[in-house]
A and B are shown apart, each in its own frame.
Chain A
Amino acid sequence: MEKLFFLMFAAVAIASGLAVVTVRNPVHSALALIVCLIQVAALFVLLRSPFLAAVQIFIYVGAVMVLFLFVVLILDMRKAVLQAFPPVKKRFVVGVILVLSAQMVAFVFLTPMGLGPAQGWEPTVESIGRVLFTKYLFPFEVVSVILLAALVAAIVIAKERQ
């Protein structure tokens, strides 16, 4: 039963992921990305991590993608809609990508997966918070500095200067 759900979510995720890059209209692309992110959230639920699933939807679908759409809607996309995908002259690139991805899939299936699921650790909100502030305290703080730096960088780039 669980396997069935996994295959369903995974298949939709891959299909919508492909749609993101192949669909011509940027708005449809964004929509496909939303679908893809929701499927990933569903996979988190299957992995017994409802917290991560909720956060995934909250942050990616609820905030990041809204901003994406916001920007896309402001742009003039009549040109983008008219362009053929993949670009006609570079169709052979698609072939190369297909071969490479087939190779990657083969690599994945050829490798025996030794490690089982992590034991004795429930991904509850409490335990996630606990490791974030103990074992992973240093990376956690570095992330906060990165966010601040990114904020400053974005403002510097976007702000009108006199």
Chain B
Amino acid sequence: MNSEVAAFFSPGDFLAILPEMVIAGMACLLLLVDIAVPRTKKCVVPALAVLSVAVAAWFSYELAGSGVSAFSGMFVLDGYSDFFKLIFYIVAVFAILVSLRYIRTEEIDLGEYYVLLLFSLSGMMIMASGTDLLTIYLGLELASLPVYALVGFLQKSRKSNEAAMKYIILGAFSSAILLYGISLIYGLTGTTQLAAISAALVTGDVNGPLFTLAVIMLVAGFGFKVAGFPFHMWAPDAYEGAPTPITAFMAAGPKAAAFAVIMRVFLEGLYPAYDSWQMAIAAVAVGSMVVGNITAILQTSIKRMLAFSSVGHAGYALLGLVAGSEEGMASVMFYLFVYAFMNLGIFGIVIMMRKDSQSGDQISHYTGLGKSNRLTALAMLIFLFSLAGIPPTAGFIAKFYVFMALINKGMVGLAVIAALMSAVAAYYYIRIVMLMYMREPEKEFALASSRGLLCVLIIALAAVVALGVYPGYFIDLARYAAFPL
């Protein structure tokens, strides 16, 4: 390697992106494998996909804690990115496992399904590790583009097509807004690197109206990606139309990645300008909690209801960012970790309800589930309690730490609003519990369980209970992983 090139990167830099390379490389390879294997042996593709995630996870584990900054400060391997990558690996593996049977039922079992999931995963990983607005933006696009296609994967369903259409148009729009914000930041500070932006904000005089405009653009662009109010309009339609495993993936994976990026950008790059973005984020957070939870009450479709509930959850998580402390950051990270399990779990049950002609996506379809299928209903109950934030589930602990972070920073008002909204949310979660246990079933339930799906449900259930009873280790892990402010 000649000296000019060596000034910009070393072989060690390529070692740092090894997990990303494994995932993206395997995605390319799977495209070919999919053509090579006969139709009867299609399970090779998901098996290889899970294997590649495992290999990437192992590399990440080996590299963890090295704290390398690679490619002239565009990519970093710190505890923060490792924590998020852990979430992504779990979400990706779960999404693959719950898809196995579902995509055969829907007759969409193409190898490209898993390939696109892996591409999206690699994008999310780049988002978590990006320390330059350029890499962050590219990671965001790489994570979203495959999901646009996955949402529209049910070619015969008009709803799926409509969902993909809405999602891609609004997604492109929000990317444009985000890019405009990034370009303004670049114009004002002369750099796209977060650390350098932070330095420029401290030394230079950039706090003009144009900077405010840039912050608004960034909040709007990222707000769309996490489906926060008032940028959440796409979420119900996209969540409802998408194949259910993809809905679960979207709500847990790309959303967590967007949070990883938001916290990195606002707490590392724009932290010196905390005062100018705090109010905007707080407004989005409160709006999401109120609108998400109240609209969720009115829904009859369970996927739409969960979509609005995920808008509400995005609001809680954003509150941790508003706190603007390391504790707040750790609370958001823990929240997303827990949310991944409970979200995948509840969607796993929704997927189970989809069999043959039974669509299982209306809330009324769950009437009397508790009488005929006790274990399934019990699992559903625990996931619902966790989403509502009822102790001793993990959902309670997650919310609790977010509120603690707020109160420690003296933002009691926000904490009170959040607590009130949890009470509202409990209403529609518990309504389903009532339906399951207090009514007689109208007909026999046919459940589409499979080994992969059961595996996911058991792990998610164990995690939700265990994290609720004994959260200490993962709380400490999140605290340790949060980057210093």
Contacts and interface: CB of A to CB of B under 8 A. Distances in A.
Interface of A: 104, 106-108, 110-115, 133-139, 142-143, 145-146, 148-150, 152-157, 161
Contact of B134 (A108, A115, A139): A139
A146 B208 contact: no
Given A114-B205, A138-B74, A152 B138 contact: no
B413 interface: no
B19 interface: no
Contacts of B155: 157, 161
B213 A149 contact: no
B19 to A, nearest CB: 14
Interface in B158-196: 164, 187-188, 190
A93 to B, nearest CB: 15
A106 B155 CA distance: 46
Interface stretch (B146-154, B230-238, B397-405): B146-154
Contacts of B8: 134-135, 137
Interface stretch (B114-122, B363-371, B476-484): B114-122
Contact of A138 (B7, B75, B206): B75
A145 B9 CA distance: 20
B209 A111 contact: yes
Contacts of A115: 187-188, 190
B116 A110 contact: no
B134 A149 contact: no
Which of A142, A156, A157 has the most chain B CB within a 10 Å cutoff? Answer: A142
Contact of A156 (B142, B153, B187): B153
A136 B208 contact: no
Interface in B28-74: 28, 31, 70-72, 74
B147 to A, nearest CB: 9
A135 B71 CA distance: 7
A145 B74 contact: no
B116 A152 contact: yes
A157 B149 contact: yes
B416 interface: no
Interface string B287-300: 00000000000000
A135 B72 contact: yes
- The interface centre, meaning the residue of A111, A112, A155 with most chain B CB atoms within 10 A of its CB, is A111
Contact of B110 (A133, A139, A156): A156
Contacts of A156: 110, 112, 116, 149, 153
B149 A153 contact: yes
Contacts of B74: 138-139
Contacts of A149: 27, 116, 119-120, 123, 142, 145-146
Q: How large is the interface on B (under 10, 10 to 19, 20 to 34, 35 or more residues)?
A: 35 or more
B252 interface: no
Contacts of B152: 157
Contacts of B148: 153
Interface string B184-225: 000110100000000000001110111111000000000000
B356 interface: no
Given A107-B212, A111-B210, A152 B112 contact: yes
Contacts of A133: 5
Contact of A157 (B72, B164, B187): B164
B110 A153 contact: no
A152 B71 contact: no
Contacts of B122: 145
A137 B9 CA distance: 9
A150 B149 CA distance: 9
Contacts of B17: 138
Nearest to B138: A142
Contact of A142 (B72, B126, B210): B126
A142 B142 contact: yes
A116 to B, nearest CB: 10
Given A111-B208, A112-B208, A115-B187, A138 B135 contact: yes
Contacts of A150: 145
A104 B208 CA distance: 13
Contacts of A111: 188, 208-211
A111 B185 CA distance: 13
Nearest to A112: B208
Nearest to A104: B213
Contact of B149 (A106, A110, A135, A154): A154
A120 to B, nearest CB: 14
A138 B70 contact: yes
- List the 5 closest pairs (A to B, CB-CB), nearest first: A153-B149, A111-B210, A111-B208, A138-B71, A149-B119
A153 B71 contact: no
A157 B209 CA distance: 43
